[in-house]
Amino acid sequence: MNPLSEPISTLGTTIATAIQQTINAAIRSATQSLRDELEVLRQLNDQYVDTTTAQKIMGCSRKWLETERKKPGTVLIVSYAGSKPTYSRASLHAYQMSRTVTPHRKHSRRG
């Protein structure tokens, strides 16, 4: 059937249905992504790694890791085995995800 020959109300309903289906598909996809992310965090829960392993996971230097862990409000969870810090795998993963969601912005100086 030619959509142009349909009454306007039918055409509007068809468009509204298509929009609703698109929105529902996007919600399902986002919900599944969040479920997948939650499952990863559950699997990583209560697993702690030493500083060297944390550096490998994060791709960073020891100094950067120490600086990040001391920042107020950091998502990095640290436990101490004796005097040495160990990092929660879940918090390392959460930190990486927060960096991909909020990209770093370069600030330029204006002269």
| Phi, psi angle pair for 91, to nearest 5° | -70, -35
- Contact 47/88 with Cβ under 8 angstroms? yes
Query: 13-27, 36-50, 67-81: which range is least confident on average?
Result: 36-50
- Residues composing the chain: 111
How many Cα neighbours within 13 Å face the side chain of 38? 6
- Contact 37/97 with Cβ under 8 angstroms? yes
Decide if pLDDT at 111 tops 70. no
- Higher local confidence (pLDDT), 22 or 9: 22
* pLDDT score, position 31: 92
User: Whole-model pTM?
Assistant: 0.46
> What's the average model confidence in pLDDT over 3-21?
82
Give the strands of the sheet with 48-50, arranged side by side.
48-50, 84-88, 78-81
